[in-house]
Amino acid sequence: MGLTFLQILLGITAVSTALMGGLFYAYSCSVNPGLGRLSDIGYLSAMQSINRAILNPVFFASFLGSLALLPVCTWAYFSYSVSPGSWCVLGATFVYFIGVFGVTMAGNVPLNNALDKADLAAASAGQLAQQRTAFEERWNRLNTVRTVAAVGTVALMVAGCIGLR
């Protein structure tokens, strides 16, 4: 028995969302705690570097790919069957759009853009401490929200995959 289009689409979408969940989870449990141990200049410099490096085709393929695949997957699943599995995929779509994409665009990206404009080399120790205070706690809190949302998206996608009959 061969795989159907819907099964392939569900699999690709599940992998794409899992990659994003893994990325945010890794930040939450290792990258952010590690960066938190750095001095103010070290922390801010590292975040500037990371925020610039992540803007690459591999990241965008998963981040925006999930954004595109989820509604297509939802439509395809509902076209096949209105079932608990299709509702799980619809839930995954909403959780990703709001909790991952929305939080990233409305919260993390503006913080990243503000940090990117900071001239760290010209800043005093007090200015660096102030910049870090304005950035770190809020960015980490937003990352926790999108981590939970991304993991929830993956769980809903898995449930949707299991629900396909």
| Per-residue pLDDT, 22 | 97
Collect the ranges in the chain with pLDDT lower than 70: 1-3, 165
| Per-residue pLDDT, 165 | 67
Place of tokens 């899992």: 18
| Per-residue pLDDT, 99 | 98
pTM: 0.93
In this structure, the dihedral spanned by the alpha carbons of residues 21, 60, 16 and 151, taken in order and rounded to 10 degrees, is 20
Identify whether the C-beta of residue 59 lies closer than 8 Å to the C-beta of residue 116. Answer: no
Q: CA-CA distance, 22 to 80, in Å (whole number)?
A: 29
| Per-residue pLDDT, 163 | 85
| Per-residue pLDDT, 3 | 62
| Per-residue pLDDT, 33 | 96
| Per-residue pLDDT, 1 | 43
